[in-house]
Amino acid sequence: MPTPVIVVGYDAAWPDLFAEIAKSLRALLGDAVNAIDHVGSTAVPGLAAKPIIDIDVTLCGRELIEPACQRIVQAGYGARGNRYDDDMWAFLAKREPACRVYLCPPGNETHRKRLVFRDRLRQDGALREAYGALKQQLSRRFFLDGDAYTAAKRDFIEAAIRNAPPPRW
């Protein structure tokens, strides 16, 4: 049975929930973890989102992916696989709110793009408002089709990443 695409207003509790989950992931995966990042719309203050905390865990090496996947599954996360063949291994924890964890090796391009997009939304109010409006519209259009909802956002996201200012080092 399909899961409805429900977009809700921003919840100020999301950063704290991320911090709690990140702490448990760091304890679970230990020294295999290079970085844990809050990504997705719940990571952007003021942005409407599906109430799912998205977390990217960058591991210290590609060889650590398989054992980390095993630990995540043993901890109760449902395995979703490498759905887009982008070296991002997805897991879902059904709780309130739900949590998706993505394991990736260092230097993963999908992870880099997620951080660029998140940071653009955090810094550009007009972009954030436009994206929020698009998400609301698409959630009504694709209420029972999460894959179509995600695909319909792709052009907006890619344009935002393409037009991102160069990083400041």
Crossing angle (nearest 10°) for helices 125-141 and 146-162: 160
- Mean pLDDT for the chain overall: 95
Is the model's pLDDT at 169 over the cut of 60?
A: no
Answer whether residue 126 shows pLDDT above 90. yes
What percentage of the chain exceeds 90 in pLDDT? 89
d(CA 146, CA 152): 10
Report pLDDT for 168.
65
| The overall pTM is greater than 0.85 | yes
The pLDDT value recorded for residue 95 is 84
Q: In terms of DSSP bridges, do strands 52-59 and 98-104 run parallel, antiparallel, or are they unpaired?
A: parallel
| pLDDT reported for residue 97 | 85
Over residues 15-39, the mean pLDDT reads 98
Q: Percent of the chain beyond pLDDT 70?
A: 98
- CB-CB neighbours of 13 under 10 Å: 10
d(CA 88, CA 45): 25
Is residue 106 scored above 80 in pLDDT?
yes
